[in-house]
Amino acid sequence: MISAHKSKPIGIISLVLLIQVMLSGCGAQTSSAGEEAESPKDKITVHIGVQGSTGVLPYAREKKSFEKAFEKAGAEVKWHEFASGPPHFEALASGRLDLGATGGTPLIAGQSGGVDFKAIAVTTDGKKGNSIVVPKGSTIKDLKDLKGKKLAVAKGSSAYNFLYMALERAGLTDEDIKIVQLQPDEARPALDNGSIDAWSTWEPYVTTAVFQTGAEVLVSGEDLNIYAPGFLIARTKFTEENPELTVLFLKTYEEVRKHFVENIDEVSKEIADSEHVEVDIIKTVLTNTTAILSPTTDEFKKAHQEQADFLYEAGGITKEIDTSNVIENRFVEQALKRITNENYSGRLKEDAYFSILSFFD
């Protein structure tokens, strides 16, 4: 572990302090979604956060899957787009967001900052999701070669924590490199024009850079065997006031996810056509970020806690936290059970139908 006294990642410390300042101003605000939930006469508006264009949630938004499911339950959906995970938690804290999906590092910062939320399911193990990429023809061939180089990363993202864990593996600290805080839409041009020497990021940005510019993956989470589970998150008050909608959200997500992974060629083409990107790029991205829907198992809990412990040791958060305090598995367990029961019921009806047909043969 990096000693908190040797080298504290200033960027992470700044991030946590910034989140705490933002949250202190959000506590007194009232959620419009919460107000709607308190009045049974009004249709409930469910606020869902989304980032990127290649995951299950963006695909579901395109297909209006949640709109169709929630309309039957007397609710409507409003989408909120974010560039990365950390802004989700400011929106959760102020009551402007009910549900969303982020990597694990924003969860840790959000919990440290006092945001009242629950991690209601795991969406990926994250091993292939984060990577450090370098431009085509770069002289950087090993993590140790990053010493003295300029590297971009989005503050507070899962790639941010991954970067510090990768540096530790190489015996480096944040003081050995120059870290530039850039969101993906800023970092990619900087990598292309040589303004930075490397970029710690996540999918789909890794694959897009590799395909479009010949960039190379220096190291990935899979190379370092670093689990970085991604999560579906929910505002705690929303889950308390709307447990059925929480389960419906997860059930709908799983139905979309199943189609998503079982029809990867079709889905890749749809997304590629919509985003005007090569199909091979999208298919590679989807393969590298295998979508799942799972309760937070002991393995995922361990990986997530290790990330939080690492941030504490590095001085990224000022107190030790027990990440299990925000994990809530009961909603996803209910959702998966309902899908199983529905499938079983459907098979029974089908078997009965064919039994009747065979009787009259």
Token pair, residue 239, equals 């889950």
**Alpha carbon distance 132, 217 (integer Å):** 6
User: Of 173, 166, 183, whose CA–CA distance to 219 is shortest?
Assistant: 166
Q: Give 163-179 pLDDT, tens digit per residue.
A: 988 999 999 998 999 99
pLDDT for residue 182:
95
* Contact between residue 156 and residue 127 where contact means Cβ atoms under 8 Å apart: no
pLDDT for residue 127:
81
Average pLDDT (85-100) is: 95
Q: Which helix (H) or strand (E) holds 199?
A: strand 198-202
The count of C-alpha atoms lying within 13 angstroms of the C-alpha of 352, restricted to the half-sphere facing its C-beta, is 6
Count Cβ atoms below 10 Å from residue 183 Cβ, excluding itself: 15
* Burial track 344-354 (b if 16+ CB lie within 10 A, e otherwise): eeeeeeeeeee
**Structure pTM?**
0.76
pLDDT for residue 216:
97
The count of C-alpha atoms lying within 13 angstroms of the C-alpha of 301, restricted to the half-sphere facing its C-beta, is 13
At 315, is the pLDDT very low, low, confident or very high (cuts 50, 70, 90)? confident
**Alpha carbon distance 308, 249 (integer Å):** 27
Q: Which helix (H) or strand (E) holds 54?
A: none
In single-letter form, the type of residue at position 29 comes to Q
**28 pLDDT above the threshold of 50:** no
At 347, is the pLDDT very low, low, confident or very high (cuts 50, 70, 90)? low
**Alpha carbon distance 199, 217 (integer Å):** 10
* Contact between residue 73 and residue 81 where contact means Cβ atoms under 8 Å apart: no
Average pLDDT (50-61) is: 92
The phi-psi region of residue 106 (left if phi > 0; otherwise alpha if psi is between -120 and 50; otherwise beta) is: alpha
Least confident of 27-31, 205-209, 272-276, 336-340: 27-31
**34 pLDDT above the threshold of 50:** no
pLDDT for residue 144:
96
At 140, is the pLDDT very low, low, confident or very high (cuts 50, 70, 90)? very high
Average pLDDT (91-103) is: 96
At 62, is the pLDDT very low, low, confident or very high (cuts 50, 70, 90)? very high
**Alpha carbon distance 359, 350 (integer Å):** 14
Average pLDDT (317-339) is: 95
pLDDT for residue 349:
53
